[in-house]
Amino acid sequence: MKIHVRGDHHLDVTPALREYLEKKFARIERYFEASADQEATVTMSVTRDVHTVETMIPVAHMILRAEERSGDMYASIDMMMDKLEKQLDKYKHKIGQKVGHRMKVEGSKAKEGFRGHAAMVDTAALSDTDDDSEYPVVRIKRFDMKPMHLSEAILQMDLLGHDFFVFANADTQVTNVVYRRHDGQYGLIETS
């Protein structure tokens, strides 16, 4: 597995920290058919003594995501890996039904889709002439919407740990939003 590790401007990723992370990632390689080609992006940061680790792994048409925080970077890595492994176990059957009995990497297409999936835009570069100063936008995300079925969209939303997910509905060819309701059920917003 290829692991791309980034630290924020407050954190220097030491060789020992990188080695510890790679050792932990060896635990999950069994989930991936083409583990040598599989890529993971890990972002580490420290803010006010809170050590945060976030991992994103593109798999087939999905993105696995896990994030944890603690007072120690090694503890954050351990908790993040536990969360990621539980997530992989939980969704192994559902994902397996879609892409085969083991998760498959789609090669460069999946990697390109992941890199282009959500692009962050610095809002300082936005025009100062906007009349929206009452509602400041602190981050903008742009992403390519690949057509998917409702069940795939719900799975992707759960994998990302979000409460909603915007997707192009493969059945209707229109943009939809699936969301988690307060009662734990799911809702769907269809555009016309």
Q: Where are the domains of the chain?
A: 2-99, 145-192
For the stretch 2-45, pLDDT in tens is 888 998 877 888 899 999 999 998 888 877 765 677 888 999 99
CATH-assigned architecture of domain 2-99: 2-Layer Sandwich (3.30)
Closest CA to 149 of 116, 181, 180, 172: 172
34 or 90: which carries more pLDDT confidence? 90
How many angstroms separate the CA atoms of 107 and 33, rounded?
A: 12
How many angstroms separate the CA atoms of 161 and 173, rounded?
A: 25
Predicted confidence band of residue 98 (pLDDT cuts 50, 70, 90): low
How many angstroms separate the CA atoms of 58 and 76, rounded?
A: 21
How many angstroms separate the CA atoms of 114 and 51, rounded?
A: 25
Class in CATH terms, 145-192 = alpha beta
- Going from the C-alpha of 40 to that of each of 44, 58, 121, 179, 190, the distances in angstroms are 13, 7, 22, 27, 33
The pTM score is 0.58
For the stretch 130-183, pLDDT in tens is 455 677 787 787 877 889 999 999 988 888 888 999 999 999 989 999 999 888
